[in-house]
Amino acid sequence: MGMHARAALGAAIATAALTGALLASTAAAPEDRAPAAFATAAGRAPVSKACIASLEADIGAGTTALMTLSTSGPTVTFKDGPGHPVPSLGKLDRKHPKLPASAGIYAEILKPYGTAPQLRTKVEGGPRAQYQVQDFPRLPKGCKVTGTK
């Protein structure tokens, strides 16, 4: 490869890297770039990254549950063994705290409006198997879950 070809290739790689860095910074979530830019909706406090706690728990059969607690309450998403989302299981939250029976596994957020929610699951072992119960992570000091009973 000639000197001019190497210089052109190096310039192309540098341009691609710079473009990728610029796109990544503009593609960041708006709350990552300017938290103060979020106006609060009536009666709702803004969610800060400092007031979010997540925990990934193995629930059996190669499935993990990503349990997240924020000021707006608990959420759960599911991942397979390699860590890919399982869209067929969907997401649990306050509005939908329990998977439908057709999901093939049992998963439910216990006390979704409480201050210490838990995830109750049964993935394998048949009808006589015990349920697993996992506590959601606690929010950092100074953060409070809204809408609790």
pLDDT in tens, 34-88: 333 333 334 444 444 689 999 999 999 999 999 999 999 999 999 998 999 999 9
**Quick one: CA dihedral 5, 11, 16, 17, positive or negative?**
positive
Higher per-residue confidence, 2 vs 25: 2
pLDDT tens string 86-144: 999 999 999 999 999 999 999 999 999 998 999 999 999 888 899 999 999 999 999 99
Whether 80 and 86 have beta carbons less than 8 Å apart is answered as: yes
Region 6-30: mean pLDDT is 39
**DSSP class of residue 15?**
H
Q: Which of 26, 53, 36 is closest to 115 using CA atoms?
A: 53
Whether 77 and 91 have beta carbons less than 8 Å apart is answered as: yes
CA end-to-end span of the chain: 71
Whether 60 and 121 have beta carbons less than 8 Å apart is answered as: yes
The predicted model scores a pTM of: 0.66
What pLDDT shows up at residue 49? Answer: 64
